[in-house]
Amino acid sequence: MTARRSGWLSRQTAVDVGLAASTSILDLLLFSTVSTDRSGGARAWPVIAIAAVAFLALLVRRRYPVPVFVVVWACAVLAAPVGGMDFTPTATTCVALFTVALHAANRVAVVSLLACAVPALTSSLLEARSRTQDEAVVALYATMAFNLLLYGCVWAGGRWARLSRQHAEDLEFRRRVAAQEAVAVERTRIARELHDIVAHSVTVMVLQAAGGRRLLDSDPVRVGHALRHIEEAGEQAMGELRRMLTALRLSHDDEDLEPDVLNGLPQPGLADLDQLVGTIAAAGIRVDTRVEGEPRRLAASVDLAAYRVVQEALTNVTKHVGPGAAVDVRLRWTSGELVVEVTDDGRGRRPDRTFSTDHGLAGLRERLAIVGGRLEAGPLPAGGFRVAAVLPVAGPVASETVGERR
């Protein structure tokens, strides 16, 4: 980051030096009589010194826009009287005016524009003095109009650039605020879902403990089974509590998330995947589901996250691709991970209108990070889109999941 910032500053410095040098030279060549001076350079040195002052001032125009404008304006006004020859710095004045219009407040910017009428008048008087009596009036008004138009256009360009920059910053601020609010809503929803899972585990523990207490003397074997179930439920509850705390621990580097509404129904999992696929298929989208490997046990929050990955991917297909698309849903089980992959061919009949906040995939990344997984998503080279999630597997016991559907 430091090297990148240093490189950016170096390029910015080079631009400032080049702009200051080119405008100062332009003023000397086009708006002075230095090139036609016949005094051997004796009269040119004061003019060159004034141009050098304007050059040095422009080097710090980004940091001190108003003081730099004052210095350059003074050079433009005093150049002819002090320099001893016709010299009306115009290019450097335009750069200083543009900088003030870009960075200064409205009142300061307007005063700067009005102040440019003085060098414009000075330049017009010098131009009129160099003309014949018949041409003097025309030269005076023509030069005055040209200078005022030039300064006005430069000032308007600076204000437009300022408004554009402020608009972009305002949009970025609103996006960040919306992202932070979405993060809070999403994590609250996840915490509620985990709360339901933990509450279920605790309820199982209480019931098993009550049953074991009643059978303590008459059936020790069943008491042992009950204690084992209590231990498993307790371990699951502790894991879900850790995930809940992670979900509630807000960070300043959160990405945009898509908030959903908790409907109070039992939380779905991979066992409900057939119903989800059937709903999507009814919308005219062909979905092929396949399972590879031996299904294994998943923590309840991980099972829910896997379902949400498929749900979000299929929902995006309906929104962005439309009926007629072909989707492949693959569940690949390994000894320590579950890979959920959803790909589409992108060949559906796109809906007439697509409403999307582009927060859904970021919400999935947030959810998967909480349960210890990761997400990859992006377009395919041949067309279509791919969403792939890797989730941790809790143990070797198979959980109820979707069978192969072709």
* Both structure tokens of 242: 């850790």
C-alpha 84/C-alpha 47 separation (Å) is 8
Q: What is the pLDDT of residue 82?
A: 75
The yes or no reply on domain 270-392 and CATH 3.30.565.10 is yes
Nearest to 154 by CA among 193, 200, 206, 102: 102
Q: Which residues 6+ apart lie within 8 Å of 272 measured at CB?
A: 307
Q: What is the pLDDT of residue 261?
A: 34
Q: What is the pLDDT of residue 44?
A: 73
C-alpha 219/C-alpha 206 separation (Å) is 18
The per-residue pLDDT string of the chain (406 residues; one tens digit each, 9 = 90 and over) reads 454 555 555 788 888 888 888 888 887 888 777 666 655 455 677 888 888 888 898 888 888 999 999 999 988 888 877 766 678 888 889 999 999 999 888 899 999 999 999 988 888 888 777 777 777 888 888 888 988 999 999 999 999 998 998 888 888 888 877 777 776 777 677 766 666 666 666 666 666 677 777 777 777 777 777 777 777 777 667 766 666 666 565 443 444 333 333 344 456 888 888 888 877 776 678 889 999 988 888 888 888 889 889 988 887 887 777 777 889 999 999 888 999 999 998 886 665 434 344 456 777 787 788 888 899 988 888 888 999 999 988 654 433 333 333 3
Fill in the DSSP letter of residue 364.
H
Q: Tell me how far the alpha carbon of residue 312 is from its chain's centroid.
A: 22
- Going from the C-alpha of 334 to that of each of 36, 376, 390, the distances in angstroms are 85, 18, 11
C-alpha 337/C-alpha 342 separation (Å) is 16
Helix or strand or coil: residue 339? strand
Q: What is the pLDDT of residue 181?
A: 76
Q: What is the pLDDT of residue 249?
A: 56
Q: What is the pLDDT of residue 67?
A: 92
Fill in the DSSP letter of residue 395.
B
C-alpha 105/C-alpha 293 separation (Å) is 66
Q: What is the pLDDT of residue 21?
A: 87
Q: Are 95 and 23 in contact (CB under 8 A)?
A: yes
Residue position matching structure tokens 């192969």:
404
Q: What is the pLDDT of residue 313?
A: 87
- Residue 132 has, within 13 A of its CA and on its CB side, a CA count of 2
Domains of the chain, by residue range, sit at 2-130, 184-248, 270-392
Q: Are 80 and 122 in contact (CB under 8 A)?
A: yes
* Both structure tokens of 375: 């997400």
- Look at phi and psi of residue 171 and say left if phi exceeds 0, alpha if psi is from -120 to 50, else beta: alpha
Residue position matching structure tokens 């807000």:
250
Beta bridge partners of 337: 392
